[in-house]
Structure formats: structure tokens, C-alpha cells
Amino acid sequence: MDFQSVLEKRRSIRKFDTRPIPKEIVEAILEAGRRAPSGGNIQPWRYVVVEDEAVRKRLKEASPLSFFAEAPLLILACFDREAIKKMPERFAELTASNAFEDVTMDAGKVEALRAQRANDEVEKASYAVYNTAISVTHMDLTAVAHGLGTCWIGMFDKEKVREILGIDARFGIVCALQIGYALQSPPSRPRLSMDDIVLQRF
């Protein structure tokens, strides 16, 4: 499937077949997430992969949504709260790989911005969250390219999920991505017009 078709085909699916997803496709989805870009290459995403039916049944307790954990694959997207501390190390890796060839940067300003982010808990968390969301999008679109349906879900009790899955407090929970063979083919969802979303052009 070409990329434009993937974008046009993607829908939020809420009814799934119980068929398991082949291991090679699950690995391809996770690999797509691993290869996502991130600011400073910090790669803060960490995944909890849930395929076991008994575990998914327990997870249903954590959400008011009847379809939560119904798909044969649920990827819980988390972020490592400690990842940003590795930014100097990740930055050095980028430099060593010539990522900044012919690029100049004001080292003083870079360090000042880095220190500001490192000392601001809200900024630090939001930075990790939106980078993790990029990773989830990569997995989402890869699943669609493999003929699967997906649904991002945020409406669940994160602490209940943390308790059920035994996730350490070091890892913040961003969302769950449900993946499976779709049992529905919903129409294209309403979208705002280009005039509504583009504020200005220069």
C-alpha cells in the first residue's frame, strides 16, 4: 500500500477480529516505533506489549470503554522519565554520526536551553510525551500498511494499568494503541478545512 493510501485508509477502529497478529508483523510495528525521530535523539519511548488474553481481560477493568483491550494486540506507550538526562550522550552520538555536518550552533545557548528543560518538570515531561507520540504514529501507520485496524486510547485509569502490568513509576504512561484485524469499515471522519487549520502563509 502506498503511503498516501495508508493516510487515507487509517480510521479509529473499535471492533476487532480475535485472530492473533503474526509475530513478524508485530515486530515490524515495534521496529517502526523504534525508528521514529526524536528531539536530540533522546528516544524516550518504552513499550509494554500485551497480547495475552487473560492480561487484556484484566486491563478492561481500567477503562469505561467496552472495546478497551479487545484487540489481540495492545501496545502501551510509555516514556522514560530519565531519558532526558541522557541528552548529552545522545547528542554526542549524533555529532559522531555527522548529523550536524555544516551546521553551526551557539554552544552557550544550546546548554542554556538544555539546562532550562532539565530543570522544568512540566517541560521535561511534555518533551518526552510528544516525542513518544511521534513513535506511536509510526507504529499506527505501519499497522495500517499491513492491513490492520488501530485505535489510540487515552481514556483509561493509568494507575490501575500501572498496577496490573507492574510498571515502575520511572515510566510515565502516554496512551494505548490497539491493533487488530478490523471488523468494521467506517467512512472517512470529518476534518476541518485547510482554511481552518492554516493560520497564515508567508
3-197: CATH homologous superfamily? NADH Oxidase (3.40.109.10)
Residue type, 40: G
Contacts of 104 (CB under 8 A, 6+ apart): none
C-alpha cell at 23: 509475530
Q: State which residues of the chain have pLDDT below 50.
A: none
Per-residue pLDDT, 158: 97
C-alpha cell at 144: 495500517
Per-residue pLDDT, 84: 82
Q: In what order do the strands lie in the sheet with 171-180?
A: 45-50, 73-80, 171-180, 149-153
pLDDT digit string, tens, across residues 79-136 = 999 998 888 888 788 888 888 888 888 878 877 877 777 777 777 778 899 999 999 9
Per-residue pLDDT, 95: 84
Which sequence spans correspond to the domains of the chain? 3-197
Q: How far apart are CA 120 and CA 9, in angstroms?
A: 39
Per-residue pLDDT, 131: 96
Q: How far apart are CA 132 and CA 175, in angstroms?
A: 9
Q: Are 26 and 52 in contact (CB under 8 A)?
A: no
